[in-house]
Amino acid sequence: NAGVTQTPKFQVLKTGQSMTLQCAQDMNHNSMYWYRQDPGMGLRLIYYSASEGTTDKGEVPNGYNVSRLNKREFSLRLESAAPSQTSVYFCASSESTANSPLHFGNGTRLTVT
C-alpha cells in the first residue's frame, strides 16, 4: 500500500525557474494538502483541497499555485522560484472530518539558488 507518493524527492532550481511538485494518494481521500517545513517553524499550510474540483489558500500561499487534477492527484507549482522557497515540501491527505489525521508523503527537498 503506497499511501501518499511525492515526486521528485530532491530538486535544485535557479532563481526564476519553474517546476511542479507531484503528489498522488491511493487511500480514496477527499482532502489533500501541501505544507512546507522550515527549521524552527514547524509545518505551514500552503494550499489545500477539500474535495475534487476545489482548492483554497492556506497560511503561506504567495508564490505558489495548485491543481487538483482528480481525486488522487494534487500538484504544487512554483512559477518563478525564489531563494525564500527553499524548503521541504510535504503533501498530505485525509478523510473529510475534523478529527481525521493527515497521512503524509516523504517530502520533496527543494533548494533554490
Partner 1 sequence: AQSVTQLGSHVSVSEGALVLLRCNYSSSVPPYLFWYVQYPNQGLQLLLKYTSAATLVKGINGFEAEFKKSETSFHLTKPSAHMSDAAEYFCAVSASGGTSYGKLTFGQGTILTVHP
Binding site for partner 1 (CB under 8 A): 4, 31, 33, 35, 40-45, 48, 50, 58, 90, 92, 94, 96-102, 104-107
* Shortest Cβ 65–partner 1 spacing (Å): 19
**Residue placing its CB nearer to partner 1 in the complex, 17 or 102:** 102
Q: Which three cell numbers stand for residue 77?
A: 507549482
Q: Which three cell numbers stand for residue 82?
A: 525564489
CA nearest 13: which of 91, 87, 98, 90?
87
* Shortest Cβ 80–partner 1 spacing (Å): 27
What is the Cα–Cα distance from 10 to 110, expressed in whole angstroms? Answer: 6
